[in-house]
Structure formats: structure tokens, C-alpha cells
Structure 1
Amino acid sequence: MRQGVDMKIGYARVSTTDQSLAIQRAALLAAGVQEDHLFEERVSGRTADDRPELQRCIAFARSGDQLFVTKLDRFSRSVRDLHNLLAELDAKGVGFRCLDQAIDTTSSSGRLTLGILSSVAEFELAIRAERQREGIAAAKARNTYKARRSTIDLDRVRDLSARMKPKEAAAVMGVSRASIYRALAAIRQEAA
């Protein structure tokens, strides 16, 4: 039950059921998070939408509260996800504290540190993508580039699309509609 005081709320996550939450739990409790304000989950979710306990945690938080995590990678899986989550917390007036990286968004230096870390992470992603593009271009120049093979069965797409809409074919095959449309384009290109 919520009381009218600012609270320390904790969020802990592990990616598999084999992993333990004990270390994160102990650190959050040591930081002053009460046991009944600790949200835990065992899920690998890429975005916040894939993590129901995180959604419950954010919904529980009120203006003036602080959300504690042990490490950024336990809270967010990408720079974009981190940015979106922090914007949501900020809009609610909820502070964010990361224990291992000593980040505290309730202070100006903490916000600066987080901004720098986010910028470095974005820079690393951009560099990795640039190197990948350069590697592909070099492989194409040497005629050694082999794109990833399609995992979708074009014959099955051809058969299903003759009998149903792309949306239905996607559901039957367990792929996205975009995958079906790409496969149909490849089929048309083969026929041309």
C-alpha cells in the first residue's frame, strides 16, 4: 500500500530463469529499497514493453520517488530504450539511480554522467554500423560478399499467398508481414 512519502523503488532483472536475482536484490535492499517496493523479473525483453514487472514498477512510481537499479543493462537493453524510459520517469517526476555506475538523475552531475554515457553508447553503435557497411562494401568489391540467406521458404509463401492475405500468411508462418512482402517481391523478381 502506498503512503504519502517519497519512496525508494527497486527494479531487478535477470535474462533467464537459471540466473539468480540475489545479488541485485541484496544491493537494492542495502540502498534502502523496502522489500515490498522491489520489482523483480526473469525475462530477456528487448524493450520495456516486453517486461511486465518494469511496467508495473513505473506505474507504481509517483512524483518524488526514486527508482533504483544495480546496473544500466538490467534496466535497459538499448540506448533508445534507456532514453525512452528515463523520459517517462522524468515526466512523472521520478528520479533514477543506478548503483554500479553511480548515476543519480536527481543531481545535475548525475544527469551529465548519464548524458555522456548515452552519447558514448550511441557513438559506439554508429561506429559498429559504419565498420559493418565498410566491410560489406569491401567484400562486394572483391565479389566475396554473401548476404545472409533468407530463412523464409519462398515456395511456401507462394503457396500461402495464393490462398490468403499476406497478414494471414505471416501469422501461419510465424513471421512479420514485412517478411512476407519481401518474399513476394523476391518471387516477383525471380519471375521477371
Structure 2
Amino acid sequence: MRKSGPVTDPQTPSPSEQSDADDVERHACPKCGTQPGSPCRSRSGAVTSAYHTRRFTLVPRLKKALRVPTPADRRPGQPGTPPPAPIDSDLPSADIRIGYARCSTLGQELDSQLDALSKHGIPRDKIFSEKISTRVRVRPKFEEALRTAREVKAHAPHCRVIFTVYEMKRLGRDAAELTALADHLTAHGLILEMLAGPLPGIYDPTGPGKLLFAFFAAMAETERENIRESTLEGLDTAARKGKHGGRPPVITDDMLHPVLRRRAGGESVEQIQPDLIIPTGKRKGQNPSVASIYRALAEHAKREAYPEAVEQAHADFADLRNADVPRLRPDAAALRP
């Protein structure tokens, strides 16, 4: 009599498939946005026949798998809500985000970036912010945010630690610097996320995405160079029109004329200073300092002396040309040592 083995229901998934599904569903899907405990969904809301690649590659042992099928008990192809897969409580499944916000000058505000990071689910104590230019290589809060992300990853290796910024230029505008940052995140198992800009979404610095990130980093650097060139052209055009930037002068020409007149009358700068009033700027309505008056007098004397010096130089050159200078004979010039 022939022995028969146990009958297996073709709809019942094998233990290996069940284990793969459980491991995959411990993570949220970066593509369709499905939360942990549920299978992947298509655009129409139906359960997919296989998990999305970006999701099952989060499991280290499935990283090189070509396809991970969805078990039959998850009802592939059906729009209904399947029962959540069992999740091992010992392994945390939630993503941990560390936020960073930055602006270049003290006059700019960080509120819009902070609000966007908070609405994205990042608590305020996990958001690091500072007002500092990207040209400064050492940014204290940026270094502190990276250090915190590394420490979190070391204490929770099974979690996805995501370093979140509002847009790429908050990190830097130099392609080499951004590429080095991507290498740093990869080395420590961190993931970069941007909420806006040319490359929004979660960015895993491994695989073909690295090339795309390097491309946008180069584009950001080119944009910065274009802004710089446009600014310099604008300043040059304004200078040709007589418009110069910077603070308004403390001692204007209208103030300098009475100073010169009273100095010619024998008064000292200390006697004149209390009668002068600054017309514009932050110190409007105050008296200028004695040092400012002396600097203005020195600059005026330099301007007055320059035309006279030029005129005297032209006169000396004309006298030299008109002078009867004896010329050496060719033989005498040849014998000259």
C-alpha cells in the first residue's frame, strides 16, 4: 500500500513565505505608504501579488531577492482590508526621524521649516536648528544632529533612522560636500529624507539613487554660482550708476562744509563736534564721534591733494620733454660701460 504524505492546501502559504511576509511587514512601504502590519497596495487600493522592491530590500536577508510574493491569506488582488500580520514586539518597527533646519542669516526665519518638520511627525526635541551659512564648514547643530542620529541607530539597529531636512540646500550647496554627506549616511546606515525641492521623499543613499542625488547636488551648486554671478553683475551695474551699497556715511558733504569753514576760523574739532547731527542711519539724530570727523577731514584732504598732484606730475613731464638734454654720440654710447 502506497504511503501518502500530508495533504497541503495550495492556498496555504509555506512557512518560509509566511516568515518572509512577517519580516517585510515589520516595515512601512516607502513606495505605496502602507503602514507596518499590512501588505503592499496598488494605486487602486488592491492588495498586490508581491511586495514592492523598496520594501522587502529593507530586510537584510531579502536584499538580493528578485521578488517576494504576498501570501494567499493576505488576499492578493482584493481591495478589502486584510488582517494585520503578526509583528514581533521585540523588534521596533516605527521609523525614527531626526530633523535639521537651517537658514543663512540672522534676518531670515526658521518658522516655516520647523513647522514643516513638526507636521511630518518629528518632535521638537528631535529637531536641531541654527542660523549659519553653508560656507561655514563647521556647523555645530548640524554635527549634533548627525551625532544624535548615529547614537539612535547604534541603540536601535532594527529601526530605520531617517535624517530629515526641508530641502537639499539646507544641507549645503557644494556637490562635493553633499556627496560626502551621502557617503557618511551610508556608512552609518542612515537614510536621508527631503520634504521639498528637486528630490522630495525618502532617499536611501545606496544603489542607483546615489547617482541621482549626485546629479541634483551638482545642479544645486550650479544654481548657487548663477545666483552669485547675478548678484555681482547687479552690484557692478549699480556702481556704474553711482549707487554703492553699505551703510550711509556718518559725515555727509553738507556737514563737512561748515566743519571746514569753522576749522579755517580757528575752531578745534572738539568744539565743532557737539553742533553736528547725523542725518541718516542707525545713529540718526546723534552727534558723530571726533574720530569720524577726523577721518572725513583726512579723506577730503586726500581728494583735494590728488588733482593737484596729477597736475604737477603733468607739468614736470612737460618740462622734461622741453628741456635741452644733450644726446650721446653713437660711438660714445657704445663705449659707455
Give the drift of 1:6.
Answer: 4.3
1:61 corresponds, among 139, 145, 149, to 149
Q: What is the match of residue 118 of structure 1? A: 217
Mapped to 2, the partners of 1:91 and 1:35 lie a distance apart of 26
| Residue segments in structure 1 that go unaligned for 5+ positions in a row | 129-192
Q: What is the match of residue 105 of structure 1? A: 203
1:22 corresponds, among 111, 117, 138, to 111
Q: What is the match of residue 185 of structure 2? A: 89
TM-score normalized by the length of structure 2 = 0.33
Q: Percent identity?
A: 30
* AA aligned opposite 1:116: F
| Residue segments in structure 2 that go unaligned for 5+ positions in a row | 1-91, 154-159, 227-337
Mapped to 1, the partners of 2:213 and 2:121 lie a distance apart of 22
CA contact (8 A) 2:101 2:110 kept: yes
* Deviations 1:84-131 (CA, angstroms, capped at 9, x unpaired): 111111111110011113142238675453243235457x59x98xxx
Q: What is the match of residue 38 of structure 1? A: 127
CA contact (8 A) 1:14 1:43 kept: yes
Mapped to 2, the partners of 1:31 and 1:6 lie a distance apart of 12
CA contact (8 A) 2:175 2:214 kept: no
Mapped to 2, the partners of 1:103 and 1:114 lie a distance apart of 12
* Deviations 1:105-163 (CA, angstroms, capped at 9, x unpaired): 238675453243235457x59x98xxxxxxxxxxxxxxxxxxxxxxxxxxxxxxxxxxx
Q: 1:21 to 1:111 in 2, by over 3 A?
A: same
Mapped to 2, the partners of 1:50 and 1:22 lie a distance apart of 23
Q: 1:99 to 1:53 in 2, by over 3 A?
A: same
Give the drift of 1:71.
Answer: 1.2
Give RMSD over aligned pairs. Answer: 2.7
CA contact (8 A) 1:103 1:113 kept: no
CA contact (8 A) 2:173 2:217 kept: no
Q: 1:115 to 1:45 in 2, by over 3 A?
A: closer
CA contact (8 A) 2:174 2:218 kept: no
Mapped to 2, the partners of 1:88 and 1:65 lie a distance apart of 13
Larger Rg: 2
Mapped to 1, the partners of 2:201 and 2:107 lie a distance apart of 28
Helix, strand or coil for the counterpart of 1:17?
Answer: coil
CA contact (8 A) 2:149 2:190 kept: yes
Q: 1:93 to 1:121 in 2, by over 3 A?
A: same
Mapped to 2, the partners of 1:110 and 1:23 lie a distance apart of 28
Q: 1:19 to 1:11 in 2, by over 3 A?
A: same
* AA aligned opposite 1:105: Y
The structure, 1 or 2, with the larger RCO (C-alpha pairs under 8 Å, 6+ apart) is 1
Mapped to 2, the partners of 1:81 and 1:119 lie a distance apart of 10
Q: What is the match of residue 146 of structure 1? A: none
Structure 1 stretches of 4+ with a deviation exceeding 4 A read 107-112, 119-122
Task: Kindly tell me the number of residue pairs found equivalent between the two proteins.
Answer: 122
Q: What is the match of residue 74 of structure 1? A: 170
Mapped to 2, the partners of 1:77 and 1:50 lie a distance apart of 14
* Deviations 1:44-77 (CA, angstroms, capped at 9, x unpaired): 1425x42110000001103331011111111112
CA contact (8 A) 1:97 1:103 kept: yes
